[in-house]
Amino acid sequence: MSAWVAGEVGRHGEYVGIGPLDEYPIHQLPQPLAWGGSSDRHFYDRSYFNCHDRSGDLMLITGLGFYPNLGTKDAYVLLHRRGAAGGGADTQTAVHLSDAADPRGGDRMEQRVGNYRVEVVEPLREVRIVLEETEGIALDLRWRGLHPVIQELPHVMRQGAGTTLNAQRFAQVGSWEGLIAVDGEEIAVTPDLWTGSRDRSWGIRPQGEALPAGRPAEPSFDGMWWLYVPIGFDDFCLCLIIQETPDGYRTVNDCTRVWKDGRVEQMGWPQVEIRYDPGTRVPTGATIACTTPDGKPLTFEVTSHLPTPIHVGGGYGGDSDWTHGTWKGEGFTERVTYDMTDPAVAGRVMFGVIDHVGSATVHGPGAGVPDGSEGWGLFEHGALGRHDPSGFKDWFDLAP
């Protein structure tokens, strides 16, 4: 390999690490850009996208991540189909791709893992996702932002004296156009019907192989309650994030409305009522009561059209089959299909976060648009373990 690309080994054998990214004036630390700003092995930089129409029959979730301190990169495609789209079945199909990351960061300029790639066509406005045919699945999708991006508040979680999560993220609601191919069947994706949200996040978050347990956490982790709702309307988008401890103490409260003309409003301290399917922890909808900066109330009535547990093949918290950042060897690819009616799969659902195809109507004097205006986007919720305000007494308690 040419030294112009590979870099040189230092006098004492240390790796120098200069790579193509260092040609650009984007440094934030006095070190090569390929090196993470933290030596924490859980340092990551990842994208997430969801894509769905308005039938409630199909939801696609996909993303790509780099884990420089683990030396890995990976991507995934998670496709939930039921009803007409699934031929009457209820299945969730995952394609996983993993590979070694370039230690000089050159592959971050071309975000690719195997047959999967993310192309930034126009930063903060347009992105293309391509999966060349892999295990019977192929994608060619173009995402266009319908509203400005929202910079979310920093998200920090601590367990005892240690930091388990310290991340920054931005979110955006957009439309999709292109093609999804599944085992020879082609699904046309048109921007008049297909929408979704995306986020980009980076920082510290548990990734890769599990570490030795060490001393038991004090206090122990008894659960968390999480709600994330980025939904787009014709004139504005709403992005709500709430996290609560088991006793209902709110550790994250971030509710922002962004108008198409760029105006940004903070929507106070939302009050939320989640409606669960009886005998489960799967929500069917929610009522979110907000307040505008000038004190006017408005309410969002949110409805779930298709629940997709992202810890069943998606690699997020508690997934027993796929963990982001784990070393799988070079050029790793696999396809896994789950029957969502199988009791062994259904039993996993309440122990993780569920992404829903969501719609919402807005009501009240603070709406700023005609009463009952409808929007579409993501309704993401997880009630893990105990949550006193919801009446969940432990990890196994279910809604009445």
Do 89 and 81 meet the contact criterion of CB atoms below 8 Å apart? yes
pLDDT at 388: 97
Select from 353, 364, 315 the least CA-distant residue to 229: 353
* 107-133 pLDDT tens trace: 998 999 999 999 999 999 999 999 999
Distance in angstroms (rounded) separating the CA atoms of residues 39 and 255: 32
Q: What residues pair up with 359 in beta bridges, in sequence order?
A: 303, 376
Position 16 scores a pLDDT of 59
- Please report the pLDDT score of residue 13 as a whole number: 44
| Cβ-contact 275, 285 below 8 angstroms | yes
Rounded CA separation 327/255 (Å): 37
CA distance 143 to 250: 33
* pTM recorded for the entire structure: 0.94
Query: In order along the chain (400 residues), what is the average pLDDT of each group of 10 residues?
Result: 42 63 91 90 96 96 97 98 83 97 90 97 97 98 96 89 90 98 97 97 92 77 95 97 97 96 94 97 98 97 98 94 96 97 94 98 97 98 97 96
Q: Chain-centre distance of CA 347, in angstroms?
A: 22
Going by C-beta distance under 8 Å and a sequence separation of 6 or more, which residues neighbour residue 27? 33
Q: Are 50 and 59 in contact (CB under 8 A)?
A: yes
What pLDDT, on the 0 to 100 scale, is given for residue 14? 47
Residue in 166, 123, 128, 168 with CA at minimum distance from that of residue 148? 123
- Residues 57, 59: Cα–Cα separation, whole Å: 7
Q: Which long-range contacts (CB under 8 A, 24 or more apart) does 53-56 make?
A: 53/189, 53/193, 53/194, 54/193, 54/195, 54/305, 54/357, 54/359, 54/376, 55/83, 55/84, 55/85, 55/305, 56/83, 56/305, 56/306, 56/357
pLDDT for position 7? 44
The DSSP call for residue 313 is S
For 166, list phi and psi in degrees, rounded to 5.
-150, 95
As a three-state string, the secondary structure of 107-173 is HHCCEEECCEEEEEEECCCEEEEEEEEECCEEEEEEEEECCCCEECCCEEEEECCEEEEEEEEEEEE
Spatial contact of 299 and 286, defined as CB atoms under 8 Å apart: no
- Residue 88 is predicted with a pLDDT of 80
Q: Where are the domains of the chain?
A: 39-207+222-390
